[in-house]
Amino acid sequence: MLNLSLKQLSQQLREKAFSSEELTRFFLDRIKKHNDRLNAFITINEEESLSMAKKADITIANGNQSLFTGIPIAQKDIFCAEGWRTTCGSKMLENFVAPYNATVIQNFNDAGAINLGKTNMDEFAMGSSNETSYFGAVKNPWNLEYVPGGSSGGSASAVAARLAPAATGTDTGGSIRQPASLCGFTGLKPTYGLVSRYGMIAFASSLDQAGPMAPSAEDCAMMLNVMASHDIKDSTSLPHPKEDYMTSLGDSIDGLRIGIPKEFFGEGLDSEVQKIIEDAILEYQKMGAEIVDISLPNSELAIPVYYVIAPAEASSNLSRYDGVRYGYRTKEYDDLMDMYFKTRQEGFGDEVKRRILIGTYVLSAGYYDAYYLKAQKIRQLISNDFAQAFQKCDVIMGPSAPSAAFKAGEKKEDPLAMYLQDIYTISTNLAGLPAMSIPAGFTKDLPVGLQLIGNYFSEGHLLNVAHQFQLSTEWHRKIPKEID
Amino acid sequence: MTISQEDIKKIAHLARINISSDESILLEKKLTGIMELIDQMQKVDTDGVEPMSHALNISQPLRADQVTESDIRKKTMPLAPETQESLFIVPQVIE
């Protein structure tokens, strides 16, 4: 069960090689065995998971199953799941039990999947190392002294250590792709608006997008089939026709034009990572792809723009945590103002406070034009760069992150160094484009991911481009030795 | 752009977050660092560029204003730190 793909799990469940209850129990046992060391999960609800599995087994016995019936999926703790504690990695929501399902959770429930548990994450998804979680840092299963990346670090650690066959993540500036790169598996951030944000705790609403995290591109395609849906409960959800992302897997990529942006191979990129990325691109050339040199001239502005837009939106979104309707409330206070001030002082961690303060500053009277409006204009320029590039190529490739995983504590006190982790991923969030990270090799026994960026709604194509690489390489099948 | 102690005091008030004086001193350096990073934007000429708010520049969809969920008070009220019947309890607001 450990190394079967989602498709194989589905087949074996259908053929009754094992039951969903056995499968779910198998992964729950692995979580029990390894979670103390990895800290990948915040909440496990064995009784509820097994109850879902038993129901799935009845569905299978009656022959009414769909592809996902009975498959356990780990859910990032940013998604509200009815009856489950949903913390978003924050003290503010330490005891929050969601009263409804996020659309992503509902879609998995409707498909018959099992909620295996809620995974750890950086507080309110703000971080690139999963060290800002109120529930403690997550470890990278390839080396426990290293970070798994973030913010979807718990999902990443769980998938890499095979504590779950697959997991969900969210990506605001790289939070699916960077951890996928640092933990050695496949992650996809879809086109903005493809997956509903309803019930997904908001960080930066114009950038947040949920996506799959799993060993292979094929697994991700199967998950995206469930996750993508037009949702009237999310006004930014796009009325895109439902697609089957599995059907394009197997198309030839002969003649594929791969754009290589020179800006992704400059200063700051680890030389061994660069070599691995270049080798992966060579592998594509062997498969018949052509290389096109492209330029994304405004790339270096992605981080400054992001650190205006994301904190601005976060400062607005996080104003809802006031200790009145739900969440944490300070114990002692003199009056209403005192209650707000202390609740937010005690409920939020340092990184979240920094971003709320930056966001408040750039939106405050007199600064709006100089910062927020300016950032939105440069965001348009960044988006235009991609539009021009896609006239010359079908897919853009480069590194997912500037280095392999770094040691825990190394960048924790240096926000600027941490922010640079997302230097290659942020621009696609700003443009709203779909992008993936796929395993491409190892440096010093740590995984390295290749990033693939596609045009709007090209997920099917992108997943196939990734799948073709995975047909001729084994990187995505590697499992950390420390975890048995 | 340098962030001063005075700025921190002002924005912390706007954001309704208590900041201790020790925290404020640490924040000054970190927030200034972030603002220096952000200030890289100022060198770009954006005259005539339309600001981008949605990735695909869609307009806001509209739908009929209909009740879609029945009374969810029983589910949501228990989440509040302090309630009385169907009301949220907060410290006195009006004298």
- Whether the pTM exceeds 0.80: the reply is yes
CA A323, distance to chain mean position in Å, is 29
Q: Is residue B10 part of a domain?
A: yes
CB proximity list for A363: less than 8 A, separation 6 or greater: A312, A315, A316, A371, A372
First to last CA, chain A: 13
pLDDT score at B47: 95
Q: Which of A214, A210, A157 is nearest to A186 (CA)?
A: A214
pLDDT score at B24: 96
Is A151 an active-site residue? yes
State the residue for tokens 């969810």. Answer: B72
The packing angle between helices A350-363 and B5-14, to 10°, is 90
Q: Is residue B33 part of a domain?
A: yes
- Alpha-carbon radius of gyration of chain B: 22
The total number of residues shown for chain A amounts to 484
Mean pLDDT of chain B: 91
3-state secondary structure of B18: coil
User: Which among A324, A348, A416 has CB closest to B88?
Assistant: A324
Cβ contact A364–B14 (<8 Å): yes
Q: What secondary structure does DSSP assign to A104-141, as a single string?
A: HHHHHHHTT-EEEEEE--SGGG--SSS-S-TT-PPPBT
State the residue for tokens 């309630």. Answer: B83
pLDDT score at B55: 74
Q: What are A313's two structure tokens?
A: 């939106």
The packing angle between helices A350-363 and A302-317, to 10°, is 100
User: Which among A236, A340, A356 has CB closest to B54?
Assistant: A236
Chain A positions in Cβ-Cβ contact with residue B51 (cut-off 8 Å): 373, 376-377, 379-380
**A226 backbone φψ class: left, alpha, beta (φ>0; ψ -120 to 50):** alpha
- Amino acid (1-letter code) at residue A202: A
Q: Which of A281, A239, A240 is nearest to B63 (CA)?
A: A239
CB proximity list for B3: less than 8 A, separation 6 or greater: A361, B27, B28, B31, B32, B35
For B28, the closest chain A residue by CA position comes to: A354
Q: Domain residues for B31? A: 5-42
Chain B positions in Cβ-Cβ contact with residue A356 (cut-off 8 Å): 15, 17
User: Which among A193, A303, A345 has CB closest to B56?
Assistant: A193
Chain A positions in Cβ-Cβ contact with residue B8 (cut-off 8 Å): 357
pLDDT score at A216: 98
State the residue for tokens 């849906």. Answer: A229
**Chain B nearest CA to A265, separation (Å):** 20
- Tell whether A329 lies on the interface with B, counting CB pairs under 8 A: yes
Would you kindly state where each structural domain of chain A is located, as residue ranges?
A: 1-484
Q: Is residue B31 part of a domain?
A: yes
**Chain B nearest CA to A475, separation (Å):** 33
pLDDT score at B95: 77
pLDDT score at B1: 77
State the residue for tokens 């754009």. Answer: A259
Give the C-alpha separation, A181 to A450, whole Å.
7
What is the CA angle A38-A105-A168, rounded to 5?
40
Q: Is residue B9 part of a domain?
A: yes
- Amino acid (1-letter code) at residue A484: D
- Tell whether A306 lies on the interface with B, counting CB pairs under 8 A: no
Q: What secondary structure does DSSP assign to B19-80, as a single string?
A: --HHHHHHHHHHHHHHHHHHGGGGGS--TTPPP--STT-PPPP-------S---HHHHGGGS
Chain B positions in Cβ-Cβ contact with residue A328 (cut-off 8 Å): 81
pLDDT score at B70: 78
Is A76 an active-site residue? yes
Give the C-alpha separation, A450 to A186, whole Å.
10
pLDDT score at A272: 97
pLDDT score at B85: 85
User: Which among A206, A370, A377 has CB closest to B49?
Assistant: A377
Cβ contact B40–A322 (<8 Å): no
Give the C-alpha separation, A364 to B76, whole Å.
33
Give the C-alpha separation, A258 to A396, whole Å.
6
Supply the DSSP symbol for A150.
S
Return the bridge partners of A170, or none.
A210
**Chain A nearest CA to B45, separation (Å):** 9
Is A175 an active-site residue? yes
pLDDT (tens digit, 9 = 90+) per residue, A88-133?
999 999 999 999 999 999 999 999 999 999 999 999 999 999 999 9
Cβ contact B55–A333 (<8 Å): no
Q: What are A151's two structure tokens?
A: 């913010």
**Chain A nearest CA to B70, separation (Å):** 13
pLDDT score at A20: 98
The catalytic position among A133, A175, A248, A403 is A175
Instruction: Tell me the pLDDT band of B53, cut-offs 50, 70 and 90.
Output: confident
Q: Is residue B82 part of a domain?
A: no
| CATH code for the domain in which residue B27 is found | 1.10.20
pLDDT score at A482: 76
Chain A positions in Cβ-Cβ contact with residue B50 (cut-off 8 Å): 377, 380
- Tell whether A424 lies on the interface with B, counting CB pairs under 8 A: no
For B35, the closest chain A residue by CA position comes to: A358
Query: Cα torsion at A243, A248, A249, A253 (round to 10°)?
Result: -140
A352 with A90: CB under 8 angstroms? yes
Chain B positions in Cβ-Cβ contact with residue A90 (cut-off 8 Å): none
Q: What secondary structure does DSSP assign to A393-422, as a single string?
A: -SEEEEESSSSS--BTTSSTT-HHHHHGGG
Question: What is the value of ipTM here, to two decimals?
Answer: 0.95
Cβ contact A383–B76 (<8 Å): no
pLDDT score at A484: 74
Chain B positions in Cβ-Cβ contact with residue A326 (cut-off 8 Å): 76, 79-81
CATH H-level, domain A1-484: superfamily: Amidase signature (AS) domain (3.90.1300.10)
CB proximity list for A292: less than 8 A, separation 6 or greater: A257, A258, A259, A260, A392, A393
The ranges of chain A with pLDDT < 70 are: none
The catalytic position among A10, A20, A76, A412 is A76
User: Which among A360, A376, A433 has CB closest to B52?
Assistant: A376
pLDDT score at A323: 97
Q: Hey, how many other C-beta atoms are within 10 angstroms of the C-beta on B20?
A: 9
Q: How far is CA A51 from CA A21, A48, A70, in A?
A: 8, 5, 11
Give the C-alpha separation, A280 to A274, whole Å.
10
The A residues from 342 to 371 touching B (CB cutoff 8 Å) are 342, 344-345, 348, 353-354, 356-358, 360-362, 364, 370-371
pLDDT score at A219: 98
Please say if the pLDDT value at position B59 is more than 80.
Answer: no
The catalytic position among A128, A151, A181, A403 is A151
Q: Is residue B21 part of a domain?
A: yes
Task: Work out how many domains chain B is built from and give that number.
Answer: 1
Please say if the pLDDT value at position B22 is more than 90.
Answer: yes
Cβ contact B91–A303 (<8 Å): no
Percentages helix, strand, coil for chain A (3-state, rounded to 5) are 40, 15, 45
For B43, the closest chain A residue by CA position comes to: A301
